[in-house]
Chain A
Amino acid sequence: MLGLVYGLLGLSMLLVSSVLKLVDLVRGDLAIASAYLAYALTINGNLPIYLIFIPACAIAGVAGICLERFIYRPLGGRPRFTPLVAALGLSLIIQSILQLIFGPELTTYREAEKLRNNITHIGTFYVAEIDILIILVFLLVSITLYVILMYSKFGRAMRAISDDEESAIACGVPKGSTYGLAFFIASVVAGIAGICFGLVYGLEPGVGLLFTVKAFIILMLAGGHGVLGTVLAGMILGISESIMCGLLPANFRDTYIFAILLVILLVRPEGITGRAFQRYK
């Protein structure tokens, strides 16, 4: 199921990197931080699970808008390298604050245990409730995002900016509000991904980094185009991770993931959907 959780963060990263045209290195930390704060706000995760999603989304959304307004927008005209370095600094800050408040140990939601142990059967399959929850959340988020991107005015503006920013602005697409809205929606999705990660795996302050890397792998696998490719890539990554862990020693799970990333970038940097992208956009 972790594949789908990475897929959620991949969707978030897709939105951000299609307007910013950069990899956002704080996505994972943002997700983990908002999941932690939601955990603290809901009496250490004792409330029902759907009540935890609401504060996480709110916190992540506000944090995303602040990130865009105070970090990425001032660095807009600067060379490519600077926003990446700023994001690394922000990642250090988030990790250290989380360590100061919550300590370096693994934190788990109380509800997660129950969800993992409750097993329902659908037809002949036995499925844990947590898997059903994550599949439902994933479908809901991806369908909503698809509809927003394809049929709303904001979606059209965002796709225009992602294709050719200068022409889009010349045609009257509002740059500031589109960026802000894209970051808001992306960060809400990141908040949901953080909660799902906390449910499946538990929360650790330093885990956001690998989360970012995996979301990036999904983005690369999808080639950075469209919601459907990202959804597919999330499933492929999840399945291949499980298969590799079955065939080879399971301790090296993250190493396989890195090997997948290296192979994708070497062989097919345009992703599995196959549309070649412009190299230096």
Chain B
Amino acid sequence: MLFKGTNRNKFMGFWIHVAVSCGLFSLLALGLNLILRSGVYSIASAAFYMIGAYSTGIGTVRLGLSPIVSILAGTLISAVFGFACIAPAFRVRQDRLLVLTLGFAEALRLVFVNWTSLTNGSMGISGIPPLSIFRIKIYSDSLFFIFLIWMCVIFMLLISSILFHSPWGLRLDGSRENEIVSYILGISPVTNRYLAHTAGAIVSSLAGSLYAHHIGFISPSPFSFVLSVYVLTAVVLGGIGSPQGAIFASIFIGFTQPVLQLIGISSFYATVIRQLIFGLVLIGIILWLPEGFYKKNSGYRRIGELSNGKY
């Protein structure tokens, strides 16, 4: 019963959708949190999300692969791209790297729009089958799907929290805080950045695959620059380097669209107003509250305070 969508009425379906999108958003935010922690200013989350979604879509619908194989293929592809799109990191300043990831995300989206023989262009791919693990089908409107997604989130949260105090986490902090000192200590910031960006890309791609199974239809339009900035907003709102904060902020962001729609604003205006609100929130946070709302985890900030407040 749990695996078959029992909750087919509209009201429950809506709230299941909200819960799932909050979970997916948290996954994206956790991936970006890892990337930002290493000092790569990447806003290409939407691109890797799209790679995951499309590899599931193309793999299951066009090629007839099983969902697990498609998900693994997606993570592999986005790992390669995650490395390739910040390949110049060893000689390029970080703000320029940000524009590079921005350009990568836009270029990739336009490839998916224009490569109609593979992706069916802006018409999108429909009829993606539900996720199945070892012949157990998990329908996207079942409670077990929410459980699965939030298990992924908790798993990633555990990994992030363990990383927080692990040697690799400290190396990431070091390569973000002060490149020259970390070079002197024998830590290569560039290697750590490549690793962190690849790992973040894999997490985003996983979230994308789950998204494709949840929605059942994918087109290039939701994977725009705006989505990447929302993910960045979630991380900045929660405080960079604090995974719990990122999750709380993602839940907050995930709830705005349904709330705006519930109070009777049409879909187009809800999207635009949400964009306006989060632009204002992002600027406000940066100007007046640069460490985010969730300040409990002070280990990270202590390092920041030592080096003159730079994170």
Contact = CB atoms under 8 A, between A and B. Distances in A.
B272 A100 contact: yes
5 contacts: A79-B309, A85-B236, A99-B275, A212-B99, A255-B110
Contact of A80 (B88, B95, B279, B290): B95
B104 interface: yes
B107 A99 contact: no
Contacts of B111: 252, 255
A90 B279 contact: yes
A239 interface: no
B246 interface: no
Interface in A61-81: 71, 74-75, 78-81
A84 interface: yes
Interface string B241-282: 000000000000000000000000000010011011011111
Interface string A83-127: 011101111110111011000000000000000000000000000
Interface of A: 22-23, 25, 71, 74-75, 78-82, 84-86, 88-93, 95-97, 99-100, 206, 209-210, 212-213, 216-217, 220, 249, 251-252, 254-255, 257-259, 261-262, 265-266, 269, 279-280
A209 B110 contact: no
A262 B87 contact: yes
A20 to B, nearest CB: 10
A191 to B, nearest CB: 21
Interface stretch (B126-134, B205-213, B224-232): B224-232
Contact of B276 (A79, A97, A258): A97
Nearest to A99: B272
A74 B287 contact: yes
A262 B279 contact: no
Most buried by B among A80, A93, A96, A217: A96
Given A23-B98, A79-B311, A80-B94, A92 B236 contact: no
Interface string B77-119: 0000000010110011111101110111011001100100000
Contacts of A95: 226, 275
A84 B236 CA distance: 12
Contact of B114 (A90, A96, A252): A252
B43 A88 contact: yes
A24 B294 CA distance: 29
Given A89-B280, A269-B92, 4 more contacts: A22-B95, A81-B41, A92-B226, A92-B278
Contacts of B179: 280
Contact of A96 (B43, B96, B224, B279): B279
B243 to A, nearest CB: 18
A84 B98 CA distance: 9
Given A75-B287, A96-B273, A252-B110, A88 B232 contact: yes
Contacts of B123: none
A213 B275 contact: no
Top 9 nearest A-B pairs (CB, nearest first) are A89-B282, A92-B279, A93-B279, A258-B107, A251-B114, A265-B88, A96-B275, A96-B276, A89-B283
B99 A216 contact: yes
Contacts of A220: 96
Nearest to B84: A262
A95 B280 CA distance: 12
Given A86-B283, A254-B110, A255-B107, A79 B310 contact: yes
A42 B110 CA distance: 33
A140 B10 CA distance: 62
A279 B93 contact: yes
Interface string B270-311: 001101101111110011001000000000000000000111
A80 B43 CA distance: 15
Contacts of B286: 75, 82, 85-86, 89
A281 B279 CA distance: 29
A23 B100 contact: no
Interface in B171-212: 179
A212 B95 CA distance: 13
Given A71-B283, A93-B279, A269-B88, A84 B107 contact: no
Contacts of A279: 91, 93
Nearest to A253: B110
B125 to A, nearest CB: 18
B272 A96 contact: yes
Contacts of B233: 89
Most buried by B among A209, A258, A261: A258
